């Protein structure tokens, strides 16, 4: 009924990132059971348009609180410790690069930026870049910041679309100083019109002083099966 009679307007595009434009258009026709020749012909007609590249720019403003809390410690008596937790003020200005400032005197002030390239050739696609940070004020006594754990790292996401039902994706994050590495390999096949399986293996390595390295014992494998109505 939903596939043949009723149209839906979604808040998101609901496209599979591992599939090409042609395959995303062909997928509902394939699920409908149309012959491959008709599916290819209709998808080719729908995709026979000229797509012009255009710059994209976003501007953001956030004025509120940072999610990781700070702690203050007081010792009113020798054998008791009074711990107070509070959320520091934070203001963010930015787009593809952002600067974070705070009226809380014990909170860091810093800038974050991302440099990214994307490329698709046939059934292959690649997304890669660098996530960097520049700390301008560092009054915090902690060297580790939970909200900036993947900065100063090279990020990559290559993938290959085997066919309309199968894809392979590799996600990676490598610290610029080489002290932390994270990689996740995923293989996702579909079975029929409703079932999809995902097999994944995550490898984590690094020095114990690095955020990624702290999870070096957490390498694991995963197998998931999903049913869509």
pLDDT at position 194 is 85
Q: Given CA atoms 37, 43, 197, 172 in this order, what sign does their dihedral have?
A: positive
Burial of 23-42, coded b for 16+ CB within 10 Å and e otherwise, reads: bbbbbebbeeeeeeeebeee
21-32 and 36-46 are packed helices; what angle lies between their axes, rounded to 10 degrees? 140
* 166-175/180-191 β-pairing: antiparallel
SS3 assignment, position 130: strand
- pLDDT tens, residue by residue, 29-53: 877 788 888 888 888 787 765 444 4
- Lowest pLDDT segment from 47-51, 177-181, 201-205: 47-51
C-alpha span between 135 and 118 (Å, rounded):
28
Q: Rounded to an integer, what is the distance from CA 22 to the centroid of its chain? A: 24
Phi/psi at 71 (nearest 5 deg)? -130, 140
Judged against a pLDDT cut of 90, whether residue 219 lies above it is answered with yes
pLDDT of residue 222: 94
């Amino acid at each position: 009924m939903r596939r043949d009679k009723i149209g839906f307007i979604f808040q998101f595009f609901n496209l599979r990132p591992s599939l090409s434009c042609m395959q995303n258009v062909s997928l509902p026709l394939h699920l409908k059971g149309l012959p491959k020749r008709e599916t290819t012909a209709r998808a080719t007609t729908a995709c026979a348009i000229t797509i012009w590249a255009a710059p994209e720019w976003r501007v953001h403003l956030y004025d509120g609180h940072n999610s990781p809390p700070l702690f203050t410690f007081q010792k009113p008596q020798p054998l008791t410790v009074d711990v107070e937790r509070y959320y520091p003020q934070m203001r963010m200005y930015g787009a593809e690069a952002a600067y974070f400032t705070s009226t809380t005197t014990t909170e860091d002030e810093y800038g974050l930026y991302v440099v990214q390239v994307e490329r698709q050739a046939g059934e292959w696609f690649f997304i890669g870049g660098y996530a960097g940070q520049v700390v301008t004020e560092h009054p915090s006594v902690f060297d580790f910041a939970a909200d900036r754990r993947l900065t100063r790292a090279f990020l990559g996401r290559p993938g290959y679309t085997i066919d309309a039902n199968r894809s392979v994706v590799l996600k990676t994050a490598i610290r610029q100083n080489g002290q932390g590495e994270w990689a996740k390999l995923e293989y996702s096949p579909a079975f029929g019109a409703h079932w999809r399986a995902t097999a994944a293996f995550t490898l984590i390595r690094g020095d114990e002083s690095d955020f990624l390295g702290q999870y070096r014992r957490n390498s694991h494998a995963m197998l998931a099966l999903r049913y869509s109505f």
